[in-house]
Structure 1
């Protein structure tokens, strides 16, 4: 595996190798999305989601790269939701290989999500135990956003963005934004909007956003909607529920890693009662309502999430 942007940095315990494996897998998937069929396979994963050919191949690429790193003891994915031993030592990785595959055939931006925990297990952990998390955006550009230990030696995490670029005939990762922060902006992305038919608190909140002249930025993809918040410096993604529109986003594979990144950037996350990072991952299929983004905006969403 070729050296990536993280392997030469001293994170301790080979975390750089894991992050480089993720970066290489993202590069593999970027090529895959440009050149392969996005047709359905006729199969579904354990959760009942229809699988595309690119879902399965992206999943394979990531498992292969993680195993090659020799630094991953256990991995699990949304396509293969079981704790699979990979023979390495140091970390457990959970990932969604192609988040938003339902919109990939419309040629919308899609993503991949990764959470990295120390040790060899994922169950009965919390998101706060992650040592790093990342997501990739596959759009006009391929970018990788990473929350990782502060390379300056200070406490906490730093959030950085890398872009896949061609330099001197070679494809490489270039750091394009360092120390990303989430502030306050009047932008909203209302997911699971069908829940507003029964969840009147959610419906009232969306109406208030409109009255207050918030900007709507919603693609139908979790990753690009959260990425817009980090790119523009604020806003909120919210996914409340109702009796007939239950939670679909998975705590382990989607919510915990993205919450880790947003909170590392100075934002907030909640399920209506507590930070997403405090929720115990009691099963690989655990799901949760969620809001992510600017602290003040997340506070406004608490009642509709707990409804």
Structure 2
């Protein structure tokens, strides 16, 4: 039977590179590894998928709002903080490749029972808690070290006190308009976007490089009167240059935007937090590692963040991080 209708055209969508496949290809970057680090990254990605699911249905299952307790930082825990902490710890314990964990939500080292494992993980399970209830971007930050204590023994604080230059991998998961996992193993940065329909992370940002400079500055300007004079002068100079002020209040989201578009993030010491507010081991070290891999820079105002010597698990520090030229302009004023 004849018809005037045009035949329907079909198009084959290209299949992208999944996170698993990418990790397998890159495994040769680590001659001392036999797959444990690759599996550990997969375990983190799995936990990220679970948290993504919980966040997407947060308004439907009563997981928004305060949990009713403070964490070790003295901050009010949100329900999703607690859920994310549990999910990541469970995934790392079950994966078997991490012998110990430190978390923003726990005062002491968390032992997984996997004393044979070669790695330890430092993490902020859910950064940006104040944004949870208002549907604004939040994230997870993680840092991985190869343990220095003998395998088969219980991990100690020494495994976490190695310093930022000893990180073997670091990254973050950004839960925003799309969910992204971004990580480095010291051989450049790659970003993967989560496809909900397939349940897979696909390579979307290969070899991320940060612009050398930019026109964005990110800080909590409500604290401006309490900033050191040199930082106030720098913020004033940004205003005079008609820079764009962009501040989400989620460290992961602010860092991600500035890394992609070019900008500087500032969290200086204040009268209230004279030693800084951000945590060195599981916020600043991993993001500084990423920043340097992208061509940027991170400093506490006196030295590069990765050159700082950690002294305790929940150590705090000021942070200036982003495009290399912008950070160096700020440091020139100090």
| TM-score with structure 1 setting the length | 0.90
Encode CA deviations 1:8-27: one digit per residue, 9 max, x unaligned: 34242411011101111110
**Equivalent residues of 2:284, 2:305 under 8 A apart:** yes
Deviation at 1:76, TM superposition (A): 0.9
Write the mapping of 1:189-204 to structure 2, written as runs, cut at 5 A: 189-191=218-220, 193-197=222-226, 199-204=228-233
Question: 1:61 and 2:83 equivalent?
Answer: no
Question: 1:170 and 2:198 equivalent?
Answer: yes
Deviation at 1:123, TM superposition (A): 3.6
Deviation at 1:83, TM superposition (A): 1.6
**Hey, what does 1:223 align to over in structure 2?**
252
**Hey, what does 1:153 align to over in structure 2?**
none
Cα distance in 2 for partners of 1:206, 1:30 equals: 35
> Which structure's CA Rg is the greater one?
2
**Hey, what does 2:191 align to over in structure 1?**
161
Write the mapping of 1:93-112 to structure 2, written as runs, cut at 5 A: 93-112=121-140
**Hey, what does 2:142 align to over in structure 1?**
114
Cα distance in 1 for partners of 2:80, 2:277 equals: 21
Deviation at 1:118, TM superposition (A): 0.7
Inter-CA distance 250–192: structure 2 relative to 1 (3 Å threshold)? farther
Cα distance in 1 for partners of 2:22, 2:159 equals: 23
**Hey, what does 2:168 align to over in structure 1?**
131
The secondary structure found in structure 2 opposite 1:131 is: strand
| TM-score with structure 2 setting the length | 0.83
Q: Which stretch of structure 1 is more off in the superposition, 75-84 or 264-273?
A: 75-84
Encode CA deviations 1:264-292: one digit per residue, 9 max, x unaligned: 11110001111101111211121000111
Cα distance in 2 for partners of 1:59, 1:238 equals: 27
**Equivalent residues of 2:226, 2:271 under 8 A apart:** no
Encode CA deviations 1:43-99: one digit per residue, 9 max, x unaligned: 111111111111111001101111122111111100113222213311110000110
